[in-house]
Chain A
Amino acid sequence: MNVIEVQGLHKSYADTKAVDGIDLTISKGEIFALLGPNGAGKTTTVEILEGFRKADSGSISVLGFDPAKRGVQSRIWRNRIGIVLQSTADAGDLTVFETLSHFAKYYSAARDVEEVINSVGLDEKRGALIRTLSGGQRRRLDVGLGIIGSPELLFLDEPTTGFDPEARRAFWALIQSLREGGTTILLTTHYLDEAEALADRVAVITRGKILEVSTPTQLGGRASAQARVQWKSNGVIQEELSDNPTEVVRRLAAQFPDEIPELQVLRPSLEDIYLSMIGEK
C-alpha cells in the first residue's frame, strides 16, 4: 500500500507558482528525500502533505486521508503521523523529560519517554531546561517530539541543519533504526550526502516541478555516466574520460612498472549530478 499518493498538485501564492503539477508516490517503509534549491517548492509541498496548507488543486492521499480535511478524522490521522518542522524556538522553560512526557499524552500509543530520550541521544540532558541545550541537541529533541507518538509516517524538514559531522552520523543511525521499525519517512534536505546515505529514492524539484525521481545511485544517469581516470605522469596530472575505466587502468598498469602515481577513478558524485540537473553547472 502507498503511504503517500499525490497527483497534479498545484499551489500558487499571488502570481508565483510554488508547486506546479507534482505527482508523487511513496510506499510503506520507504525513506524518500526531496531535493531542491531554496524556493523550489519543497517546503510548500511538504506542508500541504502535513495539512498545514491547502492545495489549489490536485488529489492528495496521505495514509489514505486528505490532509486538508478537519474534524475528528483529522485528529485520528494526526495521531498516526509525526512532524519535525524546520525550526522551533520555544522559550525553553521546560526540561527535555517534561516536554517529551507532555507530548506523549497527546497520542493514543506513545512510545516510552525514556526510550525516546535514549534513542535521540539526550540521556545526559534528560533534566536540562531546553534553553540550555545546544542547537544540535534542540534539533534532536525536535526529532524526539516527532517520533514520540510512534508515527507510521514521519516528516523531516531539513533535520540536520547546523549539526557537526559526528552528530549527523549519529542522527543518520537513528533514522535508519526507525526505518528498520517500519516507519515511512519523507525527508527534505540540503545535504546530498545525507540523501545518499539515507534515502531509498530521491526526487529533484525545481520551480515547482519534479525533474526526476530515482535512487541516489541512478539519479541523472549517474550509474552509467563516464568515469574520470586521473594519474600523474612526468609531474603533470593526466585525465581520461571513459566508459570502461578498468581498461584504462589496465593499460596504465602496463605502462608503469610499479605504482601508478596518484591514481584515482572518479564517478560523478550525487552533488555533481544534482547541480547539473538544477542548472548550476
Chain B
Amino acid sequence: MSAHKSLPTTIALGVARGGLEIRQFMRQRESVVFTLAFPIILLAIFGSVFKTTLAEGVTFSQYFVAGMIASGLVNTGFQQLAIIIPMEREFGSLKRLRGTPMHVASYFIGKSILVFVSMTIQVILLLAAGIIFFGVELPTNPYKWLTFTWLIILGSAASTALGIAFAAVPKSGRGASAVVSPVVIILQFFSGVFFVFTDLPGWMQQVAAIFPLKWMTQGMRSVFLPDSFAAREVAGSWETERTFVILLAWLIAGIFFAVRTFKWSRD
C-alpha cells in the first residue's frame, strides 16, 4: 500500500467539506426557503406595518434591515448549527465521520464555510429586496463597508463556534429546535431587532448587552444609519471598538466550548 503517501491536510478537507455542506444545504428546500426568504418576508411585514420615521433620513425599514442582518448571523450560524448537529449526531452521520481519518477541525471549517456562504447570499438578497421595495439606502462611506465586512466575518465565525458549542445541549435531534429557537427569539426581542433598542426597558438592555446579538445589531446600525443617530444609542456612540472586542471574546469562548463539548455520538 502507499503508506508513504500522506493524509490530506485539515484545511483541504475542511474546504472539501464546506463544498459538500453547501451542496446539501441547497438541496434541502425547507432550509433554503427558511434561511434565505424568511428575513425578506419579515422585512416585508415590518416594513409595511411600521411606516414611521425614527429620525431625519432613518425609516423603520432602514433600522430594521440592520437588525435583520445581525439576526441573520445568529440564525444561519448559531440556530441552524445547534439544530442540525444534534440531528446529524442522532442519525449516526457524525459517528461515521469519527471512524474516518478526518480531523474534527475539518468538520468545523466545513460548517464555517457553509454559514459564511449562506450568510453572504442572505445579505445580498435581503439588501436587494430592501433597496427595491422599501427604500433602504446603502452606506457610501468606505469605512462603513469595512466595518460591515469585519462584522459579517467575525459575526458568522462567532455564531458558528457558539452554534457548535450549543449543539451539545439538546438531548435529541428531534427536540433540538424546541430548545434552540426560543433562545434565539428571546435574544432577538431583547437585542433590539424588532424594536428600537433604546425604547426597551433598562433591565432588558442590560441583559442583552451580555450577548453578542446586541453588539451585532448595534454594529450593523453603525453601518446602515447616519452617524448623527449614534447620539441616540445607549452610550451615545456606536462603540465600534468595544463591539469588536466583545465579538472576538465570544468567538474565542465559542471555539473553546465547541472543542470541549463536541460529541460525535449520543452516548
Residues in A lying within 8 Å of B, measured CB to CB: 50-52, 75-76, 78-79, 81, 83, 85, 87-91, 93-94, 98, 102-103, 105-109, 129, 145, 149-150, 152
Contact = CB atoms under 8 A, between A and B. Distances in A.
A203 B56 CA distance: 82
Interface stretch (B61-69, B88-96, B225-233): B88-96
Given A50-B99, A76-B101, A88 B91 contact: yes
Interface residues of B, number: 29
A76 B3 CA distance: 9
A106 B24 contact: no
A106 B2 CA distance: 14
B242 interface: no
Contact of A105 (B2, B16, B98): B16
B137 to A, nearest CB: 38
A50 B28 CA distance: 32
Given A85-B99, A90-B93, A102-B16, A108 B6 contact: yes
B5 interface: yes
Given A79-B7, A94-B23, A106-B101, A87 B92 contact: yes
B265 A52 contact: yes
Interface string B13-40: 1001000100110011000000000000
Main secondary structure of the interface of A (DSSP, over half): loop
B265 A108 contact: no
A90 B101 contact: no
A91 B265 contact: no
Contacts of A129: 27
A180 to B, nearest CB: 16
A105 B16 CA distance: 8
Main secondary structure of the interface of B (DSSP, over half): loop
A10 B109 CA distance: 37
A109 B6 CA distance: 9
Given A75-B7, A105-B8, A88 B1 contact: no
B99 A83 contact: yes
Given A75-B7, A108-B7, A150-B1, A88 B95 contact: yes
B147 to A, nearest CB: 36
A89 B92 contact: yes
B141 interface: no
B28 A106 contact: no
Nearest to B7: A108
Nearest to B106: A106
Contacts of B179: none
B193 to A, nearest CB: 30
B100 interface: yes
A58 B199 CA distance: 64
A109 B99 contact: no
B102 interface: yes
B103 interface: yes
Contacts of B95: 52, 85, 88
A106 B6 contact: no
A88 B7 contact: no
A98 B92 contact: no
Contacts of A102: 16, 20
Nearest to B265: A52
